[in-house]
Structure 1
Amino acid sequence: MSPNPNTKTGRAQLARHARRFGHFHDRAKATIAITCPLCKDRPSGPEPRYGESVNQALDALLDTHLLYDCPKGPQKND
């Protein structure tokens, strides 16, 4: 059974799954990116702030993508 993007727990499971396959770091632009396991988009955002881990930043980035931009995310199931 695949994780449910409609729930916070499901989105956290999807983020852990996505992190297993790595992330992308563009030092020239000071950005990080991760591949969405549902739609294969690669949302990107700023590097982690001071005191924030890379995993926290990637999880937040993917959570935002799933909630607002992912064509297979919960907002599309309405």
Structure 2
Amino acid sequence: MNKSCPRVSFEFEHTFLPPVYILVFIVGLVANGWGLKSLLHNSKKLKIINVFFFNLGLADILYLLTLPFLVVYYFMGQ
């Protein structure tokens, strides 16, 4: 009973992740920019919850700016 396991392809991440990261980058940048714009536009007083959401949106945008580097990394096959 000598059964061999099927070979595992590690090319999946190099074909699947770059388009997903590109989509997340575009949608995330637009959505966070829109959210921050509306937060700053409709904020009469600087309440603590507005500061929290502003910091959250800003941190998310800073993370989104790293996604193009991951796309290049996976396109290069590293």
Question: Given the two structures, how large is their TM-score scaled by the length of structure 2?
Answer: 0.29
Q: Which has the higher contact order (CA 8 A, sep 6+)?
A: 2
Larger gyration radius, structure 1 or structure 2? 2
Structure with more of its chain in helix, by fraction: 2
- Per the normalisation by structure 1, the TM-score is 0.29
Structure having the higher strand fraction is 1
